[in-house]
Structure 1
Amino acid sequence: MEKIRIAVQKSGRLSEDSLSLLRECGIKFSNGMRKLKSEAANFPIEFLFLRDDDIPGYVEDGVADIGIVGENVAVEKGREVTIAKRLGFSKCRLSLAVAKNAQYNSLEDLEGGNIATSYPVILGQYLKEKGVKATIHEISGSVEIAPSIGLAEAICDIVSSGSTLFMNGLKEVETIFRSEAVLIKGTALSAEKLEILDRLLFRIDAVQRGKNNKYILLNAPEDQLQEIIRILPGMRSPTVLPLAEKGWNSVHSVIQEEEFWEVIDQLKAAGAEGILVVPIEKMIL
């Protein structure tokens, strides 16, 4: 039976989150220390553990069929791969930063200046779109030191919390690209491998929906039932079960995570009691 081969970063937070997602999809595999290859015991997939910068190239060349990388890496490398799925974790941004004491009013302040970065392609495209001309100095690692040693007036680097910039005497001034983990695929997958990929994407969708929704149970008085049902549309409509106590019903539904607290406030105002919220492991439509 044919298998699909996936490239995953061999270490780091992105690797941990990627492997955690695949395990939540019910895929069993081993990834011991220094292990560069592994096969799943219960799904037709083989793992390659690689440097993140190498993953787009391996997928383009067909050594790996699919891979999980940061979108910033996929775009920067410019390989012939497509994004099959946005995964919603390892979110960060690529931003411009200058010295804390530097005067900065707009991007035009960098006209004719020097910017140090490990992402010359993304930065170059951004500057071109904005009509700003600056010299890009490509360096790998320790980009934050560039202004203090006189190499550049600004840097362009990945930012999560901003603490690294702060510790190096820098301030963030422009966000030029927002990134998250993405599942990329090659352009020449066989029909059988595409079918395996579809099965994997189905599992990922179920896990993601589970994370993005909450299962809710509550007690609703009969005279407020219709109002509570209006607040809780659910996947189709809420489940309503009569309680032993006359005049009361148990209502079961699903709430999207982003709407959760607003909906809870509305339910309480409508007379709902005994509200119980349960996490959803997987959700299949």
Structure 2
Amino acid sequence: MKTKLRIALQKKGRLFEDSRDLLKEAGIKFNLGNGRLVASASKFPMEVLFLRDDDIPQTVSDGVADIGIVGENELEEKGFNLKTVKKLGFSKCRLSLAIPKEIEYTGLSWFEHKKIATSYPKILQRFFDEKNINAEIHEIAGSVEIAPGIGLADAIFDIVSSGSTLVANHLKEVEKVMDSEAVLVSSNNLSPEKEALLGQMIFRINAVMASNSNKYILLNAPNDKVDKIVDILPGMKSPTVLPLAEKGWSSVHSVIKEDHFWEVIGQLKENGAQGILIVPIEKMIL
């Protein structure tokens, strides 16, 4: 029987969508139809389990799944001994303390002897222990943000992304406790065959992530400006410089980080670059 890698994914929501898209770009496709909770991937030896996000750490820890994609917040809260293989750069958020917006916040001491509603009691308790804060923590499974409004708690500790949910419930963020993003985790007891499959999967994911964060740039430059432009565009090793048919001009090709795009473009134009083209990279093998 051919070895398959079994991965646990959140069955719906933003984390599911981002995970599915990443795997699809890595050439690993699966069909989630008819309410199925298990599916086989095409073009890669993998079986997919669709679970609640808070069940993923235990599922991997128990060996039911070999690997999983889960938020760091859930991983930290559950506390299972899993290997974090790779941070994936999506589904970013933070876990923060928030209080009613009309209340004046005077610092962490404000939480002393207050009631805090949260779905992450272990993370919050560790934070308060480190800060020597004595507070009463109420664990709530969902709709944490309504707790102060109905008199259940004085404040909340919850996931914050855009902050719109806090605003809608007349709350304000006052302390960030941790940042979180999606991570790929694995069991500590994978067989050599499954470790090899995981290595292949990571290779594909690295290629996808590198391509998403970089752009291919082509431009024309006068030869007396090429050295300066090459200094601006270091590339992966160094830019490619090719002579143009028009005497005194060259074509320069390189890769730039998307984060530096506009800054670099301005510098290039100041140094005589013309006909600048920016091209998406489908895959980038490092």
After TM superposition, give the deviation of residue 9 of structure 1 in Å: 0.7
Question: Deviation per CA, 1:46-91, whole angstroms, max 9, x where unpaired?
Answer: 1011111111111000000000111101111111212111000000
Identity of aligned residues (%): 63
Counterpart in the other structure of 1:134: 135
Cα deviation, 1:188-211, whole Å, max 9, x if unaligned, reads 110110000000000000000001
Q: CA RMSD in A?
A: 0.9
The alpha carbon displacement at 1:41 in A equals 2.3
Partner AA of 1:67 in structure 2: G
Q: Distance in 2 between matches of 1:30 and 1:71?
A: 26
Instruction: Find the aligned partners of 2:279 and 2:36 in 1 and give their Cα distance.
Output: 37
Shift of 1:27: 1.4
Match of 1:181 in 2: 182
| 1:245 counterpart residue number | 246
Distance across 1 between alignment mates of 2:106 and 2:221? 55
How far apart are 1:33 and its partner, in Å?
3.7
In the TM superposition, what is the alpha-carbon distance from 1:248 to its structure 2 partner?
Answer: 0.6
Residue 63 of structure 1 aligns to which amino acid in structure 2?
Answer: V
Q: Following superposition of structure 1 onto structure 2, how do residues 226-241 of structure 1 map, counting pairs within 5 Å?
A: 226-241=227-242
Q: Secondary structure at the match of 2:173?
A: strand
Give the partner amino acid of 1:175.
Answer: K
Please report how far the alpha carbon of residue 268 of structure 1 lies from its aligned counterpart in structure 2 after TM superposition.
Answer: 0.9
TM (norm. structure 2) is: 0.98
- For 1:142 and 1:18, how far apart are their aligned partners in 2? 25
Instruction: Give 4+ residue runs of structure 1 displaced > 3 Å after superposition.
Output: none
Q: Does 1:115 align with 2:138?
A: no
Within-5 A mapping of 1:47-62: 47-62=48-63
Q: Structure 2: how far apart are the matches of 1:138 and 1:33?
A: 34
Deviation (angstroms), 1:5 = 0.2
In structure 2, what is the equivalent of residue 273 of structure 1?
274
Q: CA deviation at 1:276?
A: 0.4
The 2-side partners of 1:207 and 1:26 are apart by 10
Name the structure 1 match of 2:151.
Answer: 150
SS at match of 2:126: helix
Provide the rounded CA distance (Å) in 1 between the counterparts of 2:197 and 2:140: 39
Letter in 2 for 1:19: R
Tell me which residue corresponds to 1:201: 202
Query: In 2, distance between residues paired with 1:140 and 1:29?
Result: 30
Shift of 1:117: 0.4
Structure 2 residue identity aligned to 1:119: Y
The residue identity in structure 2 corresponding to 1:186 is S
Structure 2 distance, partners of 1:127, 1:279, is 46
Tell me, in whole angstroms, the C-alpha distance in 2 between the residues paired with 1:258 and 1:131: 40
Matching residue of 1:40: 41
Matched to 1:59, the amino acid is V
- Segment drifting more, 77-86 vs 201-210: 77-86
How many residues align structurally? Answer: 285
Q: CA deviation at 1:187?
A: 1.2
User: How far is the alpha carbon of 1:257 from its aligned partner?
Assistant: 1.4
Distance 2:284 2:97 in 1: 39
Q: Any idea what SS the aligned residue of 2:253 has? A: strand
Where does structure 2 lack aligned partners over 5 or more consecutive residues? none
Q: Deviations over 1:241-284 (max 9, x none)?
A: 11111111100000011222111111111111111001111110
For 1:68 and 1:200, locate their aligned partners in 2 and report how far apart those are by CA, in whole Å: 13
Q: Which moved more, 1:29-38 or 1:152-161?
A: 29-38
CA separation in 1, counterparts of 2:212 and 2:80?
31
Q: In the aligned structure 1, how far is the partner of 2:281 from the partner of 2:168? A: 39
